[in-house]
Each structure stands twice: as structure tokens, then as C-alpha cells.
């Protein structure tokens, strides 16, 4: 069954749900992973923490697609992360000229969050990008094959969108730039 980890994390006092709908902590902003252990121990619960977004609305103003339709509420049908990772159909024209050549995901609403000034670079070798990827040119992305995709994204979350999804994203960006 799904685990609503953001809600549990908020209730347990790890952080608050920011206006960008991410769980924010004062120590690391939103650049970290949530994980949970499901067990039958009787534990003393912690309490929720307070909200520290204040009057800030940088994430709402910076979202390239106006996907944050109200505080803490992202309309998935307008979100670039959703469109490039989760959507199974063709990417709607709504996203044309709003994706800045990104073929997988979007972090704008996290990049602009002042609390992410406090996040520190990770020290995990396993999270380092594949060296081959860094040198890919546009033409090579265009000719990406299933075999190469499986090889370079073997241990990557990019697998979530599958080869067909990434191809769709690349072709959408290509078509958008040709129409310009
Ligand atoms: S991930 Fe990008 S498109 Fe989605 S809400 Fe955040 S800024 Fe907007
Ligand atoms: S950018 Fe501002 S409003 Fe948005 S989540 Fe961060 S602190 Fe909250």
C-alpha cells in the first residue's frame, strides 16, 4: 500500500509543508530523502513543528508553468515534473516553451526556496552522475536507444519515466524548438 510519508513526516515534526508542497526543514531545506521504518514498537510520538514560510512566495512566483495554484497545492496537470516523469500520454502543448530544455523533472520551486541555502552537498558516491552523461550532446540524446538507456540509467530514478517516456520528452523539446 502507498505510504503517505510527507504527511507522517509533518506530523512527526521533521518539517512543515511549504507553499511549494515539499516538506521543508530548517536544517536542510527540502533537499533530502524521507524514509520510514514500519514496525510494531510502542513509541512516544513527537509533535508537528511550526510553519516558517512566512510571507515568502518565491516558489509560487518562480514556477514556470503556474502549477502552484494555491499555497501548498500543486496542480499536477501543470507541473513539469509530473509531465516528464509520471504522465503516460503525450505532453500537452501547455508546456511548450516553459521547460527550458529539461527532459526529466524540474526543481525550480526548490531551487528558489531560501531554506535550501542550508542544504549541504551529499557525500554519497552512488548519487554522483554517470560520467558519460555529462558529455552527451543534443544529437546523442536524439539518437538514444533502449540499450543505451538501460545501461546509463541502470541505477537511476530516470528509469521511472522509462525509455519511451524520456524519448517522448526529448522529442517534445525538439518539436518545440523547431516551431520557434
Ligand atoms: S516542479 Fe517545477 S513545474 Fe512543478 S510546481 Fe515546482 S516549479 Fe512548478
Ligand atoms: S520558497 Fe518561500 S514560500 Fe516557497 S516553500 Fe520556500 S519558504 Fe515557503
Residue % of the chain over a pLDDT of 70? 99
Question: Per-residue pLDDT for 175 more than 70?
Answer: yes
Q: How far is the CA of 17 from the centre of ligand 2 (A)?
A: 9
The DSSP output letter for 35 is -
Residue nearest to atom 6 of ligand 2 (CA): 113
Nearest ligand, measured from the Cα of 76:
1
Is the CB of 113 inside a 6 Å radius of any atom of ligand 1?
Answer: no
Q: Which residues of 78-108 are buried (b: 16+ CB within 10 A; e: fewer)?
A: bbbbbbbbebeeebeeebeebbeebbbbbeb
Predicted pLDDT of residue 177: 79
Q: What is d(CA 176, CA 13) in angstroms, rounded to the nearest whole number?
A: 43
Report residue 48's pLDDT band, with 50, 70 and 90 as the boundaries: very high
Predicted pLDDT of residue 72: 97
Predicted pLDDT of residue 138: 87
Predicted pLDDT of residue 3: 93
Burial class (CB in 10 A: 0-12, 13-18, 19+), 179: exposed
Amino acid at each position: 500500500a502507498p505510504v503517505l510519508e510527507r504527511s507522517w513526516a509533518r506530523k512527526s515534526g521533521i518539517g512543515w509543508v511549504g507553499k511549494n508542497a515539499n516538506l521543508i526543514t530548517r536544517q536542510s531545506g527540502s533537499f533530502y530523502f524521507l524514509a520510514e521504518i514500519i514496525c510494531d514498537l510502542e513509541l512516544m510520538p513527537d509533535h508537528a513543528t511550526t510553519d516558517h514560510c512566512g510571507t515568502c512566495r518565491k516558489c509560487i512566483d518562480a514556477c514556470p508553468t503556474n502549477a502552484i495554484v494555491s499555497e501548498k497545492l500543486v496542480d499536477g496537470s501543470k507541473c513539469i515534473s509530473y509531465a516528464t516523469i509520471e504522465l503516460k500520454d503525450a505532453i500537452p502543448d501547455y508546456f511548450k516553451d516553459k521547460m527550458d530544455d529539461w527532459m526529466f523533472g524540474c526543481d525550480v520551486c526548490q531551487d528558489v526556496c531560501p531554506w535550501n541555502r542550508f542544504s549541504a552537498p551529499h557525500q554519497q558516491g552512488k548519487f554522483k552522475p554517470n560520467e558519460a552523461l555529462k558529455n552527451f550532446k543534443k544529437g546523442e540524446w536524439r539518437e538514444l536507444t533502449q540499450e543505451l538507456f538501460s545501461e546509463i540509467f541502470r541505477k537511476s530514478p530516470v528509469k521511472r519515466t522509462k525509455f519511451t517516456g524520456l524519448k517522448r520528452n526529448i522529442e517534445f523539446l525538439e518539436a518545440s524548438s523547431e516551431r520557434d
